[in-house]
Structure formats: C-alpha cells, structure tokens
Structure 1
Amino acid sequence: MQDLEQMPGHLIRRLQQIAVAVFHTEVEAIGFDMTPVQFAALVRVSEHPGIDQITLAGLIAYDRTTIAGVVDRLVQKGFLSRAVSEKDRRAKVLHMTEAGTEALSRLGPAVEKAQQVMLSGLDSQEAEDFIRLLHKATEAVNGLSRAPLRPVARTTQKD
C-alpha cells in the first residue's frame, strides 16, 4: 500500500482544510463572517450582474441544489439582492448591493493575504508552477465532479 503522505487526495484534503482555516482567520480579523464559497459567489455576481442562481452554481463549481442556501445567507447579510427573472419567471437573478460591493472591496486584501499564507512554503516560481499545475489537474478531471465548473458561454455580437 502507498504511503498516505504520498497520496495526492490526502494532501489535497489537508491543504483544503488549511486553506479554509486560513481564509476564516483572515476574514474574521477584519470583522466578516464569510465562507470561501460565499466569497466566490460574491465575486462571480459582481462580475456577472443579473446572473441566475443555476449559472452561478456552475461558475463556482458548487452543487445546484445547495446554492440557494449560499445565496440566502448573502441576501440575509445584505450583500446580494435576489429577484425573479423577467426572462424566465422560474429563475432567480442576483445583483450586488452597495453593502456587497463595499464588503467585496474590504475582503479583497484579507483574501489576498490568505492566499499568500497558503503558499508561504513556496518561493514565487514554485507558487506560480503550483497554481498552473492545480489548474491543469483540476481541468483534466472537472467532468468527474458532482458540481463541475461550468464557465458562462461567451456571446458574440453581430454587426
């Protein structure tokens, strides 16, 4: 049997535990109660105003059935507004509130610091290589996830 400390799944799980702990430490230090998934949702809604919840779930690789709870908490915190879509009455569309935009700007430096802490055992070239390899490995098995990343299709404008 392979040594547990040489198994990528075990090491990835450990790094994820550490990443979440570091994230919480940094955002709590500036007075926020926020999870990494909530932060990812805020970022994507800020980039895609009017996005629906299902598309948001795909953009952050989160389960479609539980995204509503994430959005509920962000709405309760006053960071997002949710409304029925004018195009599809079954869909809920999301927008940043002023409080959400301010929160995101305040969270940015704390989250950046968390990223630096997570990679503090690596020099700058190693960190760059690590991120590149994480992308490569994740993209190769994205389709095996119960909640795969689903980028928003880019629309082209016609003349």
Structure 2
Amino acid sequence: MALEIHGMAGHLIRRLNQISVSVFQDRLKAAGFDLTPVQYACLATLDQKPGIDQATLAGLIAYDRATIGTVLDKLDTKGLVTRKVSPRDRRAREMHLTENGRALYRTVTPLVQEIQTLMTGGLEPGERAEFLRLAAKLASTGNAFSRAPLAEPD
C-alpha cells in the first residue's frame, strides 16, 4: 500500500532529484569522470558565458551564492577553471574554463545528454516534452520562493 506522501508533489520532486543525482554520478564515475551535476552546470555556463563573476554564475545556475565558492574551489583545484580579479570591479573575480575544462565539458556533454534521455525513459516522446514543459513552468512559477533563485540570462 502506498503512503500518502508518495502522491505528494514535494516528495515526488525530491525523489526525482535523488534519482537524477544518483544516475548522473554513477554514469560519469563509470565512464571515469569525477564531476557532480553542479560542477557540470558551472562548466556548461562558463562555456557559454566566459568571464562572468561568481555571483552571476550562482544566479544563472540557481545555486546558493554562499557555497558556489566551494564548488569553484574544487573546479580550480582540478585545473578546470581559472579565476582572476576583474579589471572593472576589484571585488569580483572573472572566471574562465581552462583548456582542460573546455575539453572535459565537450567530452562529458554527450554522456550528460544521454542521462537526460534516461531520466525520462519511462515516458513517450510527447509525454517527455509535456513533462519538461510542465517542470519548467513549475520551476519558473516557484522561482521567487527559492533560496537560490534562477537569474534569467542576458
């Protein structure tokens, strides 16, 4: 018998996040990569928006500004990103992918795309599109309630 919580949106969203993170990390580890979903989001964003600062990056991936530095420290230690003081604002540090960071991003992206397909594998193509549309709508509608709201890219 299913518990009442098993039909609650919050519980289902949490479960989907658990599954997503587990599949992501297991698949990447099996392929020989040590990368978390948040680290991948940083690489993907810096590939598309090189030179942004930490606060902007945190907003673009909807990640807590207070802890994004720890994620970037790990990427820096791995030799995947560089951070330098911005000539426009001495308090900000501009970030760029290193050649190794760019190469890793390009190498793992096809695997990450396969994982996205796997995550919605129980859905028909039309259902997948509808699920993604509805999930995006819920994320957009709830953005203001987040402790780390998504900042729309320029």
| Within-5 A mapping of 1:40-55 | 40-55=41-56
Shift of the alpha carbon at 1:110? 1.2
Amino acid paired to 2:31: I
Contact 1:23 1:111 in 2 (8 A): yes
Shift of the alpha carbon at 1:41? 0.6
Q: Does 1:138 align with 2:139?
A: yes
Shift of the alpha carbon at 1:94? 0.2
Shift of the alpha carbon at 1:28? 1.1
Give the SS at the match of 2:46: helix
Q: Equivalent pairs: percent with the same residue? A: 48
Contact 1:44 1:59 in 2 (8 A): yes
Shift of the alpha carbon at 1:49? 0.7
Cα RMSD, aligned residues only? 1.0
Q: Distance in 2 between matches of 1:144 and 1:4?
A: 21
Q: Distance in 2 between matches of 1:125 and 1:106?
A: 29
Structure 2: stretches of 5+ with no match in the other structure: none
Structure 1: stretches of 5+ with no match in the other structure: 155-159
Shift of the alpha carbon at 1:56? 0.2
The residue number in structure 2 matching 1:58 is: 59
| Within-5 A mapping of 1:1-159 | 3-152=4-153, 154=154
TM-score normalised by structure 1 residue count: 0.93
Give the SS at the match of 1:94: strand
Greater shift, 21-30 or 128-137, is seen at: 21-30
Contact 1:26 1:113 in 2 (8 A): no
TM-score normalised by structure 2 residue count: 0.96
Shift of the alpha carbon at 1:27? 1.1
Which runs of 4 or more aligned residues in structure 1 lie more than 3 Å from their structure 2 counterparts after TM superposition?
A: none
Amino acid paired to 1:53: Q
Aligned residues: 152
Amino acid paired to 1:114: I
Provide Cα deviations, 1:5-44, integer angstroms capped at 9, x if missing partner: 1100000000100000110112112211111000001101
Q: Distance in 1 between matches of 2:98 and 2:116?
A: 26
